[in-house]
Structure formats: structure tokens, C-alpha cells
Amino acid sequence: MRYLKNLSYYIIPLLVAFFNILIIIVPNIVITSAKDGLMLWFNKIIPSILPFLIGTNLLIHLGFIDFLGTLLDSFMKKFFRVSGCGAFALVLGMLSGYPVGAKITASLRENNKISKTEAQRLISFTNNSGPLFIIGAIGIGMFNNVNIGYLILIIHYISAITVGFLFRFYKPLEVTLINKNTSFKDAFLKLKLARLKSNKTIGQILSESVKDSLETIAIVGGFVILFSVISALLQVSEIFEKIGNIILIDNLKPLSNGIFIGFIEITNGINIVSSFNNIYSIIITCALVSFSGLSIIAQTSSMIFKSDIKMSIYIFAKILHSIFSVIYAIVCIPIFNKLLVNSTSLAFNNFNDKPLKTSLSCFFISILILFLISIFCTYKLKNKKFKLKKFKL
């Protein structure tokens, strides 16, 4: 591990230098892709995310988290082993899309509303894609079928909830106290106390909310432009098609370029994958939306870097999320095949690829085994530390 860390000190600067050389060699591609990324940010991301960011910041400053957290404390602790205020990140993270869930989770942690372990559990399933992107951009805009958008959205959310339930076993020995059932009276009292504790005027709250939101959206825009350029350069090089021809099965080889581009930046990747308009396009899209791509992961990292949330565990959660999405897609597509008749019914008749099903099953089982082993190791380590402390006393 230390060797890899030392090696990264040399590799990363070389990669950045190579990237800058490519900018000089092919400036036309760089400028075009940068413009595309800028227009994507200006026309789609700002209108859809900025209002949510301002609204969420206002609700945080006004104490709404305490209100919602009091009402849903029992449910969140029983199901996810997270404090009730985590419901705020769950709901708004699903409605507004990446990276709002991460931003809210980081804010909760920085304000000591949740513990470090709760923050790690919470971010594993609250940083999700929004309905506007999945239904509008993917379903209608790319697949030309709104039902496909709804199916991907449902699979995306169910997979996220599944990951959240599994992560309730992350650091299982940490005690989570469940309060008695609370009433609306208690919730409104918490809201009032939070507002009095803040002691800020509406003008101050609004100013801070807008300022924080603009800073966040500017960071997101920078990442969108950067990864648009990177994905365009890699797409032109056709390196992904060559890799796909080596490692992918025959049915997925035509999708290789879209798969790898989507691994970096999901919008362009899914746009390529959806153009094939078959059953594999939907399955791969479900996986890419849930994984979110390196661009979104970088944006998430910029949202949580001030907190003590571990990025490695978050990435592991997104891998789990994408695996569950593939499994649920394979299960759900035959059930809802009639709703997808415009684009997938003929393709589904040929969906008898046993190697794909076998490899997916093995991959899923291996990841699940690794997850259970990590839980067991955590338990043993904590138990060992407890015994050592007891012996010292």
C-alpha cells in the first residue's frame, strides 16, 4: 500500500503533464468539448440544481433539519441506524440529484448533527441521481420512452435503499439509541429552539445560502467541463473500444465505448449506450447512473473534503449500488417488458446470455462476501480493543 502511495506521487504529475500536452496537440477537440461541458452546466445543471441548493441551505439555517429529524428519528434509526436528521439528506438527495446528498451529509457532519459513523452510513445511499435527469434526460431525451426513465428511476432508488440497509451493519458495535415516538409538538419545539440558537436575521440567512450555493455550483461546473474534455480526448483515441474488444463479452463489445466513457462521465456515456436501444442499454444505464462516474465522484469528494467522511468507503458503496441496480434490472425488465415495447421487446427475446448472467451473479456474490468479511473483521477488531482496554483497567 505504501509503495502504491509513493508511486502515485510520480504517476499523477505525469498524467497531468500528458493531459496538458494533448490540449496543445488537439486544441479543436478540447475547445469543442469544453464548450459542450459549459453549455451542459449552464443549461441543465444550474437550472435544476441551484434552486435546490439555495432551498436546502435555507432549510438548514432555519432549523428544518431538527424538525424533520425529530419526526423521523425512530424510523431512520431502526432501518438505517442513522439519526432522524438524515431523512433530510435522503429526501433532498433523491429529489435534487448529484451531489446534493453528499453536500447535505457533509453539512450535517460539520454541524455535529450526526456522528462520523452515521455520516458514513448516510452518504452511502443518499447521494443519488434526480428524477429530472433520469426521466427527462435519459428516458425521454435518450431512449425516447418515458417508461424506461421511470423504470430506471425506481431501480435506482430501490438499489440505494438496499445499500443503505446493508450499511446499517457498518461498525455494528456502535450503539444507536432509539428515542420514544415523538409528536408534531416536539418537532415544532425543536424547530423553534434551533431558530433561536441560530440568532441570524432572514437577510443574513438568505445571503449565506446564496453564497454557499453559488460556490458549490461553480465547483460542479469546473468538474463538468474538465471531465467533458477528458472523456472527449479518450473517445477520439478509441482506446476504450480496443479495451472492450479484449475484456467484454460479444454482446457488450459494441457498447464498450459508452460503458467506459460513462465510467468517467455518465451523461455522454449513457447517450452513447442508449443509441443502441436494446436490453443491454437499459441494464448498463442502470449501472452507470448508480455508480455516477468519476466526474460525480470527484464532485462528491469536493463536497466532503472538510469532513472526516472516508471517500474509499463511499466509492465501495457506489460499486455496491451499481451491482444491485444490474441485479434489479435483470429481474424487473421481464416483468415490465410490455411497458418498454417501443424499444426493448424484440431485444428481450434474445436476452439468453448465460455467461453474462453467470458473471454478474459471481461478481455480486463475491462483493457480498467481501462486505460480510469486512463486517466480521470490524467486529473482531472492536472486540479485541475492548478486551485490551478491560485488561489494562
Is 382 inside any structural domain? no
Prediction pTM value: 0.77
Is 204 inside any structural domain? yes
Cβ atoms < 10 Å from Cβ of 306: 11
Is 16 inside any structural domain? no
- Ranges of residues in the chain with a pLDDT under 50 are 343-360, 362-363, 366-367, 378-393
Is 370 inside any structural domain? no
Looking at residue 72, its pLDDT comes to 78
Q: Give Cβ neighbours of residue 376 (< 8 Å, ≥ 6 apart).
A: none
Looking at residue 208, its pLDDT comes to 86
Looking at residue 359, its pLDDT comes to 45
Is 177 inside any structural domain? yes
Nearest CA to 243 out of 264, 223, 225, 266 is that of 264
Is 7 inside any structural domain? no
- Look at the chain and report how many structural domains it folds into: 1
Looking at residue 346, its pLDDT comes to 40
Q: Cα 247 from chain centroid?
A: 26
Is 93 inside any structural domain? yes
Place of cell 464498450: 256
State the residue range of the domain holding 335. 28-352
Alpha helices in the chain (DSSP H): 2-25, 27-40, 46-61, 64-79, 86-96, 100-110, 116-126, 131, 146-166, 184-198, 202-237, 239-247, 256-264, 266-274, 279-291, 293-304, 311-335, 345-348, 354-392
Alpha helices in 86-183 (DSSP H): 86-96, 100-110, 116-126, 131, 146-166
Is 10 inside any structural domain? no
Looking at residue 321, its pLDDT comes to 95
pLDDT digits (tens, 9 = 90+) for 299-345: 899 889 888 899 989 999 999 999 999 999 988 888 877 766 654 44
